[in-house]
Amino acid sequence: MRTWQDIFAEKIAELHLLEPWTLQEDDTLQVQVLGPDWKEFVQHRAPGRFQCSQCFHVWSSAKVHILFHMCRCQGWGVVWMRIFRQKCTHCPNPQLENPDFSLETVETILHNLVVKILQYFYNKPVQPCDLLEVVVDTPVAGPHNSAHCEACQHGICNKSRPALASGAWKPLTDVDKARTHRIKSQPALGVDIKKLLRDVGKAKTHRTQSQPARAGFAWKPLTDEDDTLKRQGLTAHATSTHGPSPCNSNFPLKRCCCISSILLCVLAVIVFLVLYFTIM
């Protein structure tokens, strides 16, 4: 317990808090049994090493739970701690044994405790990544024996959730997958738009080059009626309703207006698609 207190005092001193804080051990703490102005924090799934006081059997567990109750009042702060114990599986009448922790594990657990103190009593914003994951540095053999676990008897193991370390992997939710798909699809949309613009430009160039050659009219042989009109100084195409005459001075202007209208429509469709996929 002395090691816990020394490390806790060092971490509190680094924060330069106005109130002194102390850490004490209490084996009678109960989960969610708190007085007024008290807060609770449970460190789940810490790795610990046990040794039986009767047969000296040694075992490791990655499901050691530590319960903290804390309060800040009258210019000082106090934290009560309870470490849940386990029994030996080799002895007929085993006793509850206290675990030993590595120095790195103690540092991590007390770091998370200090983060919770800042959140509860000093209104510091805390993100899930601020809580460090306790690393299992010892091999654990066999399944967890709930009948010999004090935390399981109090229903803590079933409620435990490991804290995620900063940068720790976690599965993508449906919202994350949809966001990722939308982000990835936007560059592809930009490429398609550029290609579409190039195709429109090529079509415009091809149409401009091909129109003078065919003059906007399909050739057909002269009939007797056409020959008669020709002798009278008229042509059958003068009354044609298939399109304007190339000799008309307004024909190039109308053609440019038509092309411009088509391009504006295409650009409007492109802008609509970009806005639609951006909002989605």
> Residue 35: which residues within 8 A CB-CB, separation 6 or more?
71
How is residue 21 written in tokens? 């804080």
pLDDT tens digits, one per residue of 243-256: 444 444 455 666 77
Question: Residue 5 pLDDT more than 90?
Answer: yes
What is the model's pTM? 0.55
DSSP run (H or E) holding 186: helix 174-214
- Can you tell me the distance from the alpha carbon of 265 to that of 272, in angstroms, rounded to the nearest whole number? 11
Longest distance between any two alpha carbons in the chain, whole Å: 130
Cβ contact 77:71 at 8 Å: yes
Per the prediction, the chain carries an average pLDDT of 74
pLDDT tens digits, one per residue of 218-228: 444 555 555 55
pLDDT (0 to 100) of residue 108:
95
Query: Which one has a higher pLDDT value, 136 or 219?
Result: 136
Query: Which one has a higher pLDDT value, 257 or 170?
Result: 257
Q: Which of these ranges, 8-17, 90-99, 107-116, 143-152, has the smallest mean pLDDT?
A: 143-152
pLDDT (0 to 100) of residue 156:
75
Question: Residue 82 pLDDT more than 90?
Answer: yes
Cβ contact 89:148 at 8 Å: yes
pLDDT tens digits, one per residue of 43-58: 988 899 999 999 999 9
pLDDT (0 to 100) of residue 110:
96
**3-class secondary-structure state, position 232:** coil
How is residue 122 written in tokens? 């000093």
Q: How many angstroms separate the Cα of 276 from the Cα of each of 137, 193, 279, 280?
A: 50, 14, 5, 6
- With bands split at pLDDT 50, 70 and 90, how would you rate the model's confidence at 63? confident
- With bands split at pLDDT 50, 70 and 90, how would you rate the model's confidence at 74? confident
Between helix 103-121 and helix 2-15 the angle, nearest 10°, is: 50
pLDDT (0 to 100) of residue 146:
76
Question: Residue 197 pLDDT more than 70?
Answer: no
How is residue 213 written in tokens? 């050659």
